[in-house]
Amino acid sequence: MNFARVMTARNAPLAAAALSVLMLCALPAAAEEFRHSFVKGDRYRVLSRVDEDVYINRRNSYSAEIFNRIAFSVEDLRADGAGLLAGIFSTSERYEGGSSYVTERFYESRY
């Protein structure tokens, strides 16, 4: 079979698509490896805010803004860099029309 005869203008888009797929399949082989190691005594803080709309029977019941605060420290380490973390978690909510947050949950955890 003559290759020039197979590669016609009609087949060019198919050939380009096949070449693209082959090139994309080779990308994961070149991925970088990421490693993270904790340092004993390090401290971290995480803040997040969530806007929540609550629906009951497809009708909006209320809206709230949820604010999460997490403060944790690295208490101990394993040889592989994994850490034992101790943290304080606080969740507060502000309901629609409210001007202040109300602390809903406050707890400590080790993980």
- Please, are residues 94 and 87 in contact by the beta-carbon 8 Å criterion? no
> How many beta carbons lie within 10 A of that of residue 95, not counting itself?
13
Query: What is the C-alpha to C-alpha distance for residues 51 and 83, in angstroms, rounded to an integer?
Result: 32
pLDDT tens digits for 27-83? 666 678 888 888 999 999 999 999 999 999 999 998 999 999 999 999 999 988 889
- Please, are residues 94 and 63 in contact by the beta-carbon 8 Å criterion? no
Give the residue carrying structure tokens 């502000």.
94
0.75 exceeded by pTM: no
